[in-house]
Structure 1
């Protein structure tokens, strides 16, 4: 034979929780503490750039400056997309691919397996930007550069970096899709 189903006894619970106890709980939580927390959160909001006007980034204009990440180069090679032609097809304008020193150091650390990506990065058409910070972590470098200057489009396939950059208003993302580049959050009107 199976087990008999037991129903909860709601009357016992009703006796335990009385209206007096709920009134006491309301008195325990003071409202001024909640207002203090809201005020602290308001102080942490960073000031928007003067280039941002009605959620559109006015400093983004052709020729676009595209900051390229290591995995963007690797995925471009895997999907057989030409970097320069793919950027022009995706953005419908002249593009200046830019690689920071941190991204270049990351490519060099990956070794001979990524020699084609390193060769593309060392091309004359790709502009190099030197970094003034310590360390060679490329994701932090790209996020820091985009926070300072909102004139870049970030090209990456890294999910964590995309998540971090989506929090920054007015910065478009570029990623490798199926045999082409996909643009995300680029305003249509200039």
Structure 2
């Protein structure tokens, strides 16, 4: 029987489901250890902007979303935001501040009035938020998930951890009195591996 099967063309070697040889076999449905059906996991669709974790939408001029603590820490380190970012990325930079970040800076009070004055600089472009509340971390994460063209500028460890889970989004922080970039190997401030 084996010789006959080998001499036949490839299309006839496939056994059909109606074959008498497999009619007696019962197909078992998979069940979980608890006895119920196995839960189906939904895959999150990947962005078309990514090419093997490399974001193809990133390019000069870079679009940078600012966080509240990034502005405060750059003031404490006496860093000029625009000049420092251009030196770090070797390109023109467009800085954006969402309404949530402005609300957080305004809530900080009189102690951070210099940060508020810098945030109101006309070089920073405003982005309107369509959600309720002024929690800036959720706003920034949602905006980056929707549009992969942004670089997040933050020094917040929790926000950095959340952003690292999103593929293709670089993060700018402050280290050693200068701006550093992680997730962009071509940048000047990128850490050496």
- TM-score scaled by length of structure 2: 0.77
Partner of 1:110: 108
1:116-127 correspondence to structure 2 within 5 Å: 116-127=114-125
> Secondary structure of the equivalent of 1:33?
coil
8 Å Cα contact 1:79-1:178 kept in structure 2: no
Task: From the two aligned structures, give the one with the greater helix fraction.
Answer: 1
Q: List, as ranges, runs of 4+ consecutive aligned residues in structure 1 with deviation greater than 4 Å.
A: none
8 Å Cα contact 1:71-1:156 kept in structure 2: yes
Partner of 1:169: 167
Partner of 1:135: 133
- TM-score scaled by length of structure 1: 0.78
Unaligned 5+ runs, structure 2: 1-29, 188-193
What CA deviation, in whole Å up to 9, does each residue of 1:141-166 have, x standing for no partner? Answer: 00000000000000000000000000
> Secondary structure of the equivalent of 1:183?
strand
> Secondary structure of the equivalent of 2:101?
helix
From 66, 71, 81, the equivalent of 1:68 is: 66
State the number of aligned residues.
156
2:32 paired with 1:33: yes
1:78-117 correspondence to structure 2 within 5 Å: 78-117=76-115
From 40, 44, 47, the equivalent of 1:46 is: 44
2:153 paired with 1:155: yes
CA distance in 1 between partners of 2:164 and 2:40 (Å)? 24
CA distance in 2 between partners of 1:82 and 1:167 (Å)? 29
